[in-house]
């Protein structure tokens, strides 16, 4: 990550726990940046019962789903298919034999179908999810149940974030999910943001709600992972500072929020 003569502002909008991890990684690479933490979603864990019928494996597409499992308790199958490395690491810490697709929903479906586990499977996820994983696996002949176990409640921008966004200096905003992008776009309109906006989006779908800010700069990560997001952020900062960014370091995948 580059160094610059003035402290660029980065607003971190991820849910608190995921945001804290990214903040640590970012601080290690760019200690001169001024970080403002302003989560735009907060998890609400829902009570749930696992199916009476045994399932051969779980499908987990977020760290929050693993946290919900830990809070809920109950007997679990031994295996879990996970969308990314971070979710897999959390699932392993819970005692599951976790396998990571190291990508997105497409990669996860491909992994499961190539592995061909015995049915049924159980996808545990938030109220807002993408990829229609259970539907696609069922269509492919692999019986899969789907269950909502948490929801993410929208949160307003924090006062320090609002102050920065109403200022004259560029503000850098890494955005990790389409829903966060939509909430952020609505919040930027609500507060009347006038600062030059610099978005790093984790995917094309995440970038879509941000494209209405025509004067903003937008960089889309090369992969849906934290290291790629750090690289996208580095490119934006380099363009602002007119210096070349360093190459990315190796970080765990970011996964769904």
147 lies in the same domain as 117: yes
144 lies in the same domain as 160: no
The pLDDT, as a whole number, for residue 250 is 35
Task: Summarize pLDDT for 124-171 with one digit per residue, the tens.
Answer: 999 988 789 999 999 999 999 999 999 999 999 999 999 999 999 999
Q: Mean pLDDT over residues 100-116, rounded?
A: 94
94 lies in the same domain as 21: no
Task: Summarize pLDDT for 61-87 with one digit per residue, the tens.
Answer: 999 999 999 998 778 899 999 998 889
Domain-embedded: residue 1: no
Domain-embedded: residue 231: yes
The residue range of the domain holding 76 is 43-153
133 lies in the same domain as 65: yes
The pLDDT, as a whole number, for residue 251 is 32
Domain-embedded: residue 53: yes
Nearest to 79 by CA among 197, 2, 88, 70: 88
Residue 56 reports pLDDT greater than 80: yes
Preceding amide of 120 cis, omega within 30: yes
The pLDDT, as a whole number, for residue 82 is 98
- What is the number of structural domains in the chain? 2
- 3-state helix, strand and coil shares in percent for the chain, rounded to the nearest 5: 35, 25, 40
The pLDDT, as a whole number, for residue 35 is 97
Percent of all residues in the chain with a pLDDT value above 90, rounded to a whole number: 76
Match 């990550």 to its residue by tokens. Answer: 1
- Whole-number Å distance between alpha carbons of 233 and 240: 11
Residue 228 reports pLDDT greater than 50: yes
Assess contact for 46 and 68: CB atoms under 8 A. yes
Q: Mean pLDDT over residues 32-38, rounded?
A: 96
- Whole-number Å distance between alpha carbons of 19 and 137: 31
The pLDDT, as a whole number, for residue 247 is 45
Assess contact for 85 and 252: CB atoms under 8 A. yes
CATH number for the domain harbouring residue 144: 3.40.50.10090
The pLDDT, as a whole number, for residue 130 is 79
85 lies in the same domain as 141: yes
């Amino acid at each position: 990550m580059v160094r610059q003569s003035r402290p660029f502002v980065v607003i971190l909008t991820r849910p608190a726990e995921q945001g804290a991890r990214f903040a640590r990684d970012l601080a290690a690479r760019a200690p001169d940046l001024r970080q403002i933490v302003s989560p735009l979603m907060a998890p609400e864990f829902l009570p749930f019962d696992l199916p009476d019928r045994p399932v051969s494996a779980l499908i987990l597409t977020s760290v929050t789903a693993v946290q919900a499992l830990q809070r809920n308790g109950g007997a679990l199958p031994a295996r879990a298919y996970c969308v990314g490395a971070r979710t897999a690491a959390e699932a392993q810490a819970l005692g599951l034999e976790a396998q990571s697709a190291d990508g997105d929903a497409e990669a996860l479906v491909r992994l499961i179908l190539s592995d061909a586990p015995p049915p049924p499977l159980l996808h545990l996820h938030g109220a807002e999810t993408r990829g229609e994983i259970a539907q696609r696996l069922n269509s492919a002949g692999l019986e899969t149940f789907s269950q909502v176990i948490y929801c993410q409640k929208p949160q307003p921008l924090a006062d320090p974030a609002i102050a920065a966004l109403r200022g004259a200096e560029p503000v850098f905003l890494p955005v990790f999910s389409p829903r966060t992008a939509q909430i952020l776009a609505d919040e930027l309109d609500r507060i009347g943001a006038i600062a030059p906006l610099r978005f790093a989006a984790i995917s094309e779908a995440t970038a879509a709600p941000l494209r209405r800010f025509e004067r903003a700069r937008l960089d889309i990560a090369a992969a849906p992972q934290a290291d790629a997001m750090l690289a996208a952020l580095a490119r934006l900062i380099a363009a602002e500072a007119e210096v070349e960014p360093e190459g990315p370091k190796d970080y765990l995948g970011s996964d769904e929020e």
